[in-house]
Amino acid sequence: MMSGKRSLAMGVIGEERAVPPEKPGFAGKQGDKLLKGAAWLGAATVISKLLGTLQKIPLQNVAGDVAFGIYNAVYPLYILILFAATAGFPVAVAKFVSERVVAGDHQGARRIVYISTGVLMLAGVALFLLLYLGAETLAGWMGIPQTVTAIRSVSFALLLSPLLAVLRGYFQGYQNMVPTAVSQVIEQFIRVITMVALLLYLVALAYDEAWIAAGATFGSVTGAGAGLIVMAVYWRKSLREERGKVVEEREVGAEGELGEEEERTGDRELSSWAWVKRITLYAIPVCLGAIVVPLLTIVDTFTMPRLLKATLGSELEAMRQFGLYNRGLPLVQLVVMIASTMSAAIVPAIAEAKARGQSGSIDFRAEMSIRLAWQIGLGASFGLAFAAVPINVMLYTNAEASWTMAVLAFTALFSTLNAVTASVLQGAGAIRTPANALLVAIVLKALGNVWLMPRWGIDGAALSAVIAYAAAAGLNLVQLRRCTGVRFALRPYAVSPALGVGLMGGGLAALQGLAMLASAAWHVPERWGASAIAIIGVAGGAAVYGLALLRSGGISRDELRLMPELDRKLAPVLAKLGPRRAPRGPADPE
């Protein structure tokens, strides 16, 4: 590590403090509980995001691009308002509940829930009225009058989501992630069912696109209701269990030291207003950080329809073009989710190095997580771009706006890189950098839309998105290098991925050529042929790209061993291929 550079280990490990001895077996049980909870929450997040990403496809297939465009104009607005109101409160509730639990004050933990619920319900009612009564004004600002019904439809979710957020924070404070995980999956599942059911019903009754989009957004209301019911069941169960432990908890609390008892009493005697201020002040910075990403999407909502209408002269055609632009976004989100999940496989290894005090290993493994994000995101982006036409036909019935989808595919690379570098920077202590980088991206996206869309339409909007996300990722990387002194070698970041992309592109081009000849000879329906090309191409392209990385030294077997699960699955293949070791030094420096 270069002199003058601040080691990432300092941010990850922090100051060493004396820790009171634990009860025998406590650490192991708590560790197992945390690992199981994290596994539950991770699986639930993947499932819910997958459902949320893919649910838009039937909407476009059945209702068309106009309804698809209206939905994609309204839903980001709802997410922005929801995040602004609630995003930080589960974190704040979890923090203060956890403190009360450690102090043995379960009644105080419940009090935090009641106080937080009061605050958030007031905010939820106010925002509901803002959306419902101000729907016409908001639609006018967006330049999309058809969104009024959908805005009013989704506004009812704001009456349910605040309490759902508080209860999730309560159980996370007890380090019990199962209720949150189960409620997330149920919420998303009911949301999708509602959307599809109302979609089919409204289309069958020949409702217009505005009402169909409103039916789709109403899924957020029923989903939030279902998630809230699940959390309420867990809440009642926890209260029953707690009543049976009251006597035992009081006995344990009576044995504490005097200083601890004074501290607990002081917290218990805080007024409700003092708790409101404490919780709110802790939650606001988290909320502000959480709304940065939705703001980037909101830029499109408030600029694209107006710019398209000014260029095309037709409101319906503008919404159709906006729907075409949004075809590629679910695929990008899916790629980002998968790539981020795979890159996150290095996190347990960083935790292990932290526990052992191996600062060199922490820096090395953090660099590896960035390298994985780059390599996976690059391959996925090029693969999606190469296969844009067959994927577009497979999912959306025609090849319209395939070039836009291909350009937009590269936001997957920079979004993935941005997410991973943001996590590493936060570990290094550079907390403000990721938010500032995304604010720069918001400005660039708005300016890019205004400058490029009159020239190239939705292709210009796609290009401005790539530029914005690339700028955010670039700023994060610059700051990361300043904080840690991490170096990015040419071979694993450029040579190996370029070889993999070239082989993958050649293979996909050959596959598409052969498929076109076969389709013409055997008269295969276009969508069936495109589906076969897309599925085979994506699977085959990923395999070719991955093997090229392994064979060319983009990632070595020693580095794969840092991710035991992935290494175990690839071990049989690697044994036959005999991948070469990357010439970058030991995989686990001390």
* pLDDT tens-digit readout, 111-150: 888 988 888 899 899 999 999 999 999 999 888 889 999 9
Evaluate whether residue 197 is within a structural domain.
Answer: yes
- DSSP conformation letters of 480-491: HHHHH-----HI
Evaluate whether residue 320 is within a structural domain.
Answer: no
Domain endpoint, select from 267, 290, 313? 290
Both tokens of 312, joined, read 């095309």
Backbone angles phi, psi at 24, to 5 degrees: -55, 130
Evaluate whether residue 124 is within a structural domain.
Answer: yes
Domain endpoint, select from 271, 290, 309? 290
Evaluate whether residue 210 is within a structural domain.
Answer: yes
pLDDT digits (tens, 9 = 90+) for 296-336: 888 999 999 999 999 888 888 999 999 999 988 888 877 77
In whole angstroms, give the CA distance from residue 157 to residue 160.
Answer: 5
The better pLDDT of the pair 129, 576 is held by: 129
pLDDT digits (tens, 9 = 90+) for 210-255: 999 999 999 999 999 999 999 999 999 888 877 766 555 555 555 4
Task: Residue 157: give the domain boundaries.
Answer: 57-250+258-290
Evaluate whether residue 538 is within a structural domain.
Answer: yes
Evaluate whether residue 67 is within a structural domain.
Answer: yes
Cα–Cα distances (Å) from 478 to 210, 391, 430, 484, in that order, read: 45, 35, 12, 10
Q: Give the burial string for 390-418 (b: 16+ CB within 10 Å, else e).
A: bbbbbbbeebbbbbbbbbbbbbbbbbbbb
pLDDT digits (tens, 9 = 90+) for 489-544: 777 888 888 898 999 988 888 887 887 777 767 777 778 888 888 888 888 888 88
Number of independent structural domains in the chain: 2
Average pLDDT for the chain: 78
**Lookup result for tokens 């007031």:** 122
pLDDT exceeds 60 at position 94:
yes
Domain endpoint, select from 290, 305, 339? 290
Evaluate whether residue 405 is within a structural domain.
Answer: no
Evaluate whether residue 212 is within a structural domain.
Answer: yes
